[in-house]
Each structure stands twice: as C-alpha cells, then as structure tokens.
Amino acid sequence: MVVVMEPKASEEMVQDVIKHLKEMGFEIHRSDGVTHTILGAVGDKTGIDIRQLEVLEGVHEVIRISEPYKLASRSFKRENTVIRLGDVSIGGDEVTVAAGPCAVESEEQIMIIAETVKKLGAKLLRGGAFKPRTSPYSFQGLGEAGLKYLRKAADKFGLLAITEVVDVGHVPLVLRYADVLQVGARNMQNFMLLRELGKVQKPVMLKRGMSATIEEWLMASEYILTGGNDQVILCERGIRTFENYTRNTLDISAVPIVKKLSHLPVFTDPSHGTGIRNKVIPMARASVAAGADGIIVEVHHDPDHAKSDGAQSIFPYQLEELMKELRIIARAVGRTL
Ligand code: PEP
Ligand code: MN
C-alpha cells in the first residue's frame, strides 16, 4: 500500500500518518520527492479500511497494491483449484456442464430431465428445491421432497446433484441430499450463510450478486475459504445494468478477469444471465470461448408449462446442439468436453 501526501502537507501531518500506519502494524518506507512525500507501507493489509487513512489530514491518495482478498487470489495460490467429485473434475482441463430445471417440480419431471441431460453429457443435475422468488406468490419449490427427488434422479442416472441453500438453518438438510451447494445471487452477501458453508466438506457454487463488483464477489468467497472449505466454484450469472432487452447482463468479461485474479473455478449461468431461451446458447458458447470452466444451464422437457423460469429454459434438443458446439469450442481453446 502506498500513501501519497499532498504537496503542501506539513512534516507534522506526515508524522501523524506514519504513526497511524505503525499502529496498524506496517513497516514504512519513506520517500521525499520534489512535490510529494510518498509512504510505502509493507505488511498485512487484510482487515484494513483504507478510508481511515484517506481521511487523515494532508493525505492526497491511498493506493492499494495487493488485493483485499487473500485465500481466493492467485498470488496466494498460483495453480488452478481443481475440485474432484468422483470421476468429475471441476476446474481442470475439462469443461463441466451442469443442467436441469430451474426448480424440481415433481419426481416424474426431474427423472425425465435427468435422463436427458445425462445422455447429452452433463455431469451435474441442477434443480432448486427452495426457490428464492421475487414474488412470494410465485412457486417456492417443493422443499425437502424436491431434494429427495433430485437425489433419486441424480443417483438413478449417475449424475451429481447441485441445489441451492437459501438459509443458514437449511444447511444440514441440503447437505444430506446435494453434492454441490449453490449460494444464489440474492444471498451472495449473506455472511452468516457463507460462514456456515465454510465449515462444510462439500463444494459450494457461489453466484455473483446481481449488483456485486468482482471484488465484492471474491471477498464473499473469502468468507467460505477462511472457514476451511477450499472447494468454491464462482458463477457469473448476470448483473443488473440499464439494459432491459435481457433479464440481466451476463458479464462474460468477468470470466477472464476472475481467472486471472483467482485460482478458483469459474462458471457462467447463461440462463439467468439472459433470461431468454434463444440467447442462452450464444452466451454459453461465448462463456466457454472466454475460458469458463463450466456452465450451469436450465433445461426443461416442457418449458412452456414450467413452474419457474420456463422462458429461459432450453429444450433438450437445444442442449444436444449446444453440447456439440461446446465440444468444438472447448477443443479450440485447449480444453476437453
Ligand atoms: C437459480 O440458479 O436457480 C437461481 C435462482 O439463480 P440466481 O441465484 O443466480 O438468481
Ligand atoms: Mn431459475
């Protein structure tokens, strides 16, 4: 961290800043230039609120050199984190596809979809049992029954199950049924939930909040990582912008940015990222081309009658087409599928 003093800062002001930096545990390297005095502060910056320095008299600017997140960063761990679940590796050479309905609606529905997505090459079966809906009048999910059906379908067809945990009190319940626990966009900064998930021994997919910066998203992952759970998958699912031709704006550029900043696997969710069925496939292709480690996509055998997110759920024949295209793209960017 570097503190740049104002040109007219007095020696007293400089000494006051030095005193604060020392109290914060930093070692100081001072350099007096023609106009500015610059203080290089070396030490652990985690937990420091730089605004406390910015408000001191005579301070022109405080520049952070290292990232505020630590365990999630590439400077902490250079190699990619690869999460192994049976014979599935997430974050390695292979691109992983998670597919399934927005919500588990019935045993029959999840069975039909599970069979299809397995046949087409998906490794994970998605399906929400507890749905965080904008309206309390919308379908809220089947709860534990939904988890049971999801587990049964995943086991029957040899898939891994991923489902959302919306509440800290539900963690033990969801853990009994899921292989990967999903934290939804609306819960990205539910710090109690994140801390609880830091204690579990299963991978967590952390969706990016719809108005979260990349740094806030990585800081959220840090809550899970500091608890001792190093199996975190990040998922870009679209952010809220002024554009309203799509439900959200899928920030594809977040993929290469986060891949550079962090060693964690990065997925995208082109379904919630666009909200429109015919936009899902192009954005899924773009995600893999941009270096995503996987996608999570909503698929429904009868989307016109889906209880949630039918308009953004692709048909099985579209998933088949998409898988073919993703195989070509994966190969083109040095990956397999
Ligand atoms: C979901 O994947 O079902 C979901 C609700 O996604 P998000 O949290 O990204 O809105
Ligand atoms: Mn959905």
Query: Residue 117: what pLDDT?
Result: 98
| Number of Cα atoms under 13 Å in the Cβ half of residue 218 | 23
Q: Which residues line ligand 1 (CB under 6 A)?
A: 102, 128, 132, 164, 184-186, 207, 237, 269, 272
Could you give the angle at which helices 107-120 and 144-157 cross, rounded to 10 degrees? 30
Q: Separation of 277 CA from ligand 2 center, angstroms?
A: 12
- The neighbour count for residue 19, using CB atoms within 10 Å, is 12
Ligand 2 center to 48 CA (angstroms): 37
DSSP calls for 233-292 = EEEE--B--S--SSSSB--TTHHHHHHHHB-S-EEE-HHHHH-SHHHHHHHHHHHHHTT-
Q: pLDDT (tens digit, 9 = 90+) per residue, 185-214?
A: 999 999 999 999 999 999 999 999 999 999
SS3 (DSSP) at 137: coil
The residue whose C-alpha atom lies closest to atom 5 belonging to ligand 1 is 184
The predicted-structure confidence for 253-298, as pLDDT tens digits, reads as follows 999 999 999 999 999 999 999 999 999 999 999 999 999 999 999 9
Q: What is the pTM (predicted TM-score) of this model?
A: 0.92
Q: How far apart are CA 248 and CA 165, in angstroms?
A: 22
Closest ligand (CA of 280): 2
Using alpha carbons, select from 286, 282, 267, 281 the residue that is nearest to residue 319: 281
Long-range contacts of 74-80 (CB under 8 A, 24+ apart): 74/260, 74/261, 74/262, 74/263, 76/263, 77/263, 78/263, 79/263, 80/263, 80/265
Q: What is the pLDDT of residue 113?
A: 98
Q: How many residues appear in the chain?
A: 337
Which residue ranges form the domains of the chain, and what is each CATH number? Answer: 2-63 (3.30.70.1140), 83-332 (3.20.20.70)
CA dist 320 and 62 (Å) reads 52
Q: Among 181, 237, 267, which residue has the most ligand 1 atoms within 8 Å of its CB, making it the best to mutate?
A: 237
Calculate the alpha carbon distances from 288 to 160, 266, 320, 327 in Å: 21, 10, 16, 10
Ligand 1 center–CA 187 separation, angstroms: 10
Segment among 61-75, 98-112, 166-180, 186-200 with least mean pLDDT: 61-75
Residue 4 burial (C-beta neighbours within 10 Å; 0-12, 13-18, 19+): middle
Buried b (16+ CB within 10 A) or exposed e, 130-151: bbeeeeeeebbbbeeebbbbbb
What whole-number distance in Å separates Cα of residue 208 and Cα of residue 331? Answer: 27
Answer yes or no: is pLDDT of 66 > 90.
no
Q: Which ligand is nearest to the CA of 134?
A: 1
In this prediction, residue 238 carries a pLDDT of: 98
CA-CA distances (angstroms) from residue 32 to 9, 14, 20, 59, 305? 12, 11, 18, 14, 70
Q: What are the pLDDT digits (tens) for 223-251?
A: 999 999 999 999 999 999 999 999 999 99
Which atom of ligand 1 approaches the CA of 309 most closely? 3
Task: Supply the residue whose CA is at minimum distance from atom 9 of ligand 1.
Answer: 185
Plot region of 58 (φ>0 → left; ψ -120 to 50 → alpha; else → beta):
left
Tell me how far the alpha carbon of residue 102 lies from the centroid of ligand 1, in angstroms.
8
- pLDDT tops 90 at residue 102: yes
The three-class DSSP label of residue 27 is strand
What pLDDT sits at residue 317?
98
Residue 272: which residues within 8 A CB-CB, separation 6 or more?
A: 185, 237, 238, 247, 248, 298, 309, 312
Each residue's pLDDT tens digit, 12-59: 999 999 999 999 999 998 899 889 999 999 888 778 889 999 999 999
Closest ligand 1 atom to Cα of 184: 8
| Atom 8 of ligand 1: nearest residue by CA position | 184
